[in-house]
């Protein structure tokens, strides 16, 4: 028995006459032409299943720049045009090939349930996206490798208060950690998130050296990576005094020990920093397969990324291409005296030499800033917020977790780009607007290998599948039907119809050629991909048959075996000859 329809366009309230019209329309919809029913043109049309490429990630010769423009009061502006912007790559002006204004969609209010007579219970209300379906994903990424227990407690309390006060219908929140422990995938279950937040604990990978020979990460970086003689001298004199009692005969030995300790400290610090960045990259990859708006708040006491600029750039590029906005919140709060960045450290230096203490204090001041520089770059370069040097962490979550009211997306294709992996600084300017501030990425890294058109096509399909934005470059319609096979099992059919009158064909002898890719993806109410099917339809049509199909269109039918629940159906069609692509959303609610 046919139980539900979700048609391509909204209609008015359900009525018996309208339900009859819906049934007749569905029958007519299938009648003109379906792939499985048509046999006479087998030599002209072939279809085959394709392994879904939903999780493919590639780089393209197209640089995306998300820009937030604010006035003197901090409000984001939405009235700028493409002509108001100038974009430079290594100081050279670039042609802006793509420009769009993006505004987060307002969340619809939950409608009260309406009581319907029994005769109408078999037809679900037609809707594009259910108010309860996942629309926005917020990933809380807690760096439990670098953050002290005291800072974790303050940050978790602020996060818990923010979620309790601000979580709305359609929001899904996930908790992820640098250690990979105590994680919760995206959910709207506040109790589950609350429990996970209060189980957070510091989980350093290498442990903290509390001996008098301890060398701080930035100090070790200067000695090992920068070969800084002043940093080596400071470490040498600290170790000379604390381990050798300042014995003049042991100065050379103290210097050798300082070099060795610095090498070990630098290696351990880089290991922990890489772990933090790997966790962020993994989260971005995970969120790229979610539909809707995506943002991350990175919570950390900071970690050095001076030797990891390429890794930072790769994460920024990946986040921009996946439409994931990264934000950062410095869990240290208000910075203390730069000479004493950690309350557990009783002294600035392990020596009483005034000149060493002065130089060490200056070094710690730079270190405190650099430890948040990587997080700040991730946030600002993806159009997010960097919140630091403040004890009001609740205000920090309110700012960092909220999407900007509006932002602009600019894109350009670098000319004569060398595939050498070199960093390219970019600059965005306003032509004539004064008193405004810009927030945009600072640069990108050139790819290391040539682009592949086949890979580019796959990524365009992937980006369309994992987006809730509806695109209408091709005229498609989507119908859904389901019937209950048992009390706990249902079969869902998705019918995607393409009107061929706006499709571009390539003429070759007596045939009209084109390849059409149909992708149908099914997401659960929390936005997780349940399953998906991809089919390639190869058209080799004679003129007479093309004229006939111009009138009837082409319909592809896809079946899924599912459990009762709420699902978002995403249908995407791409035409290989013109590169046009369309994507539509439909919500199906299968009652328990």
Q: What is the DSSP string of 34-91?
A: BTTT--TTTTTEEEEEE---TT-----S-EEEEEEEE-TTSPBP----GGGEEEEETT
Share of the chain above pLDDT 90, in %: 45
Tens-digit pLDDT profile for residues 243-273: 888 888 999 999 999 999 999 999 999 999 9
What is the per-residue pLDDT across 370-382, written as a single tens digit (0 to 9) for each? 999 999 999 988 8
3 state SS of 109 = coil
Residues 63-121: pLDDT tens digits? 888 888 988 887 889 999 999 999 999 999 999 988 988 876 554 444 444 443 433 33
pLDDT at residue number 45: 73
Q: What is the pLDDT of residues 136-180, one digit of tens each?
A: 899 999 999 999 999 999 999 999 999 999 888 889 999 999 999
Q: Which of 26-40, 76-90, 446-460, 477-491 is predicted least confidently?
A: 26-40
Q: Is the pLDDT of residue 16 over 80?
A: no
Read off the pLDDT of residues 548-586 as tens digits, 9 standing for 90 and up. Answer: 999 999 999 999 999 999 898 999 999 988 888 998 988
Q: What is the pLDDT of residue 291?
A: 76
What's the CATH number for 136-400?
Answer: 3.40.50
The mean pLDDT of 408-421, rounded to a whole number, is 84
Query: Residue 502: what pLDDT?
Result: 87
Domain extent listing, the chain = 4-57+453-590, 63-104+405-445, 136-400
Task: Work out the burial of residue 250: count CB atoms within 10 Å of its CB; fewer than 13 is exposed, 13-18 middle, 19 or more buried.
Answer: middle
Query: What's the pLDDT score for residue 203?
Result: 94
Alpha carbon 479 to its chain centroid, in Å, reads 29
Neighbours of 395 (CB within 10 A): 13
pTM for the predicted model, two decimal places? 0.63
If one compares 572 and 339, the residue with the highest pLDDT of the two is: 572
pLDDT for res 132 = 61
Q: Answer with the residue of higher pLDDT: 458 or 87.
A: 87
| CA–CA gap between residue 157 and residue 396 (Å, rounded) | 12
In the predicted structure, residue 346 carries a pLDDT above the cut 70: no
Mean pLDDT of the chain: 81
- Identify the pLDDT of residue 20: 31
pLDDT of residue 17 exceeding 70, the answer is no
pLDDT value at residue 366:
85
Burial 426-447 (b: 16+ CB within 10 A, else e): bbbeeeeeeeeeebbbbbbbbb
Q: Mind listing the pLDDT tens digit for each residue in 267-311?
A: 999 999 999 999 999 999 889 878 778 899 999 999 999 999 989
Tell me the HSE value of 552 on the side-chain side, using a 13 A CA sphere.
17
- Which pLDDT band, with edges at 50, 70 and 90, does 214 fall under? confident
Query: What is the DSSP code string of 488-529?
Result: S-EEEEEEEEE-GGG---EEETTEEEEEEEEEEEEEETTS-E
- Distance (Å, whole) CA 170 – CA 179: 28
- 49 or 230: whose pLDDT is higher? 230
Q: Is it the case that residue 318 has pLDDT exceeding 60? A: yes
Considering the segment(s) 4-57+453-590 as one domain, its CATH architecture is Sandwich (2.60)
Check: CB of residue 232 under 8 Å from CB of residue 259: yes
Instruction: Give the model's pLDDT for residue 9.
Output: 30
């Amino acid at each position: 028995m046919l139980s539900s329809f979700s048609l391509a366009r909204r209609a008015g309230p359900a009525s018996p006459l309208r339900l009859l019209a819906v049934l007749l329309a569905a029958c007519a919809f299938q009648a003109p032409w379906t792939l499985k029913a048509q046999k006479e043109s087998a030599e002209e049309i072939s279809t085959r299943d394709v392994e879904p490429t939903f999780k493919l990630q590639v780089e393209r010769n197209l640089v995306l720049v998300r820009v937030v423009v604010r006035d003197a009061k901090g409000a984001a502006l939405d009235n700028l045009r493409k002509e108001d912007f100038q974009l430079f790559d290594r100081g050279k002006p670039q042609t802006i090939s793509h420009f769009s204004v993006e505004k987060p969609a307002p969340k619809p209010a939950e409608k009260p349930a309406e009581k319907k007579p029994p005769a109408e219970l078999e037809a679900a209300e037609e809707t594009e996206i259910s108010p309860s379906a996942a629309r926005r994903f917020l990933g809380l990424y807690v760096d439990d490798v670098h953050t002290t227990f005291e800072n974790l407690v303050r940050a978790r309390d602020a996060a818990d208060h923010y979620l309790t006060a601000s979580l709305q219908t359609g929001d899904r929140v996930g908790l992820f950690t640098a250690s990979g422990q105590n994680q919760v995938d995206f959910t709207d279950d506040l109790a589950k998130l609350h429990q996970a937040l209060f189980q957070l604990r510091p989980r350093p990978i290498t442990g903290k050296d509390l001996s008098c020979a301890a060398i701080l990460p930035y100090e070790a970086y200067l000695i090992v990576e920068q070969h800084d003689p002043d940093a080596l001298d400071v470490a040498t004199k600290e170790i000379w005094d604390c381990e050798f009692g300042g014995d003049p005969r042991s100065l050379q030995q103290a210097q050798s020990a300082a070099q060795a300790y610095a090498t070990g400290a630098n290696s351990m610090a880089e290991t922990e920093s890489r772990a933090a960045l790997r966790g962020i990259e993994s989260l971005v990859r995970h969120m790229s397969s979610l539909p809707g708006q995506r943002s991350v708040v990175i919570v950390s006491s900071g970690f050095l990324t001076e030797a990891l600029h390429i890794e930072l750039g790769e994460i920024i590029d990946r986040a921009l291409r996946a439409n994931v906005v990264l934000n950062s919140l410095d869990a240290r709060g208000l910075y203390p005296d730069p000479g004493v960045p950690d309350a557990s450290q009783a002294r600035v230096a392990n020596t009483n030499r005034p000149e060493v203490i002065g130089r060490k204090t200056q070094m710690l001041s730079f270190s405190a800033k650099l430890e948040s520089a990587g997080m700040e770059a991730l946030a600002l370069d993806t159009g997010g917020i960097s919140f630091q040097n403040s004890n009001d962490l609740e205000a920090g979550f309110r700012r960092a977790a909220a999407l900007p009211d509006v932002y602009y997306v600019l894109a350009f294709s670098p000319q004569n780009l060398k595939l050498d992996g070199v960093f390219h600084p970019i600059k965005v300017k306003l032509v004539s607007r004064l008193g405004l501030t810009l927030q945009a990425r600072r640069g990108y890294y050139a790819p290391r290998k040539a682009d592949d058109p086949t890979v580019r096509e796959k990524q365009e399909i992937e980006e369309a599948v994992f987006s809730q934005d509806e695109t209408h470059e091709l005229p498609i319609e989507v119908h859904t039907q389901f019937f209950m096979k048992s009390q706990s099992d249902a079969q869902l059919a998705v019918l995607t119809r393409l009107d061929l009158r706006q499709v571009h064909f390539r003429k070759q002898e007596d045939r009209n050629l084109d390849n059409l890719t149909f992708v149908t993806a099914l997401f659960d109410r929390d936005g997780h991909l349940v399953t998906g099917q991809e089919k390639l339809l190869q058209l080799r049509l004679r003129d007479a048959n093309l004229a006939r199909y111009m009138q009837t269109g082409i319909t592809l039918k896809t079946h899924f075996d599912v459990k009762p629940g709420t699902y978002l159906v995403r249908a995407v069609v791409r035409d290989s000859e013109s590169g046009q692509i369309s994507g539509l959303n439909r919500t199906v609610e299968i009652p328990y």
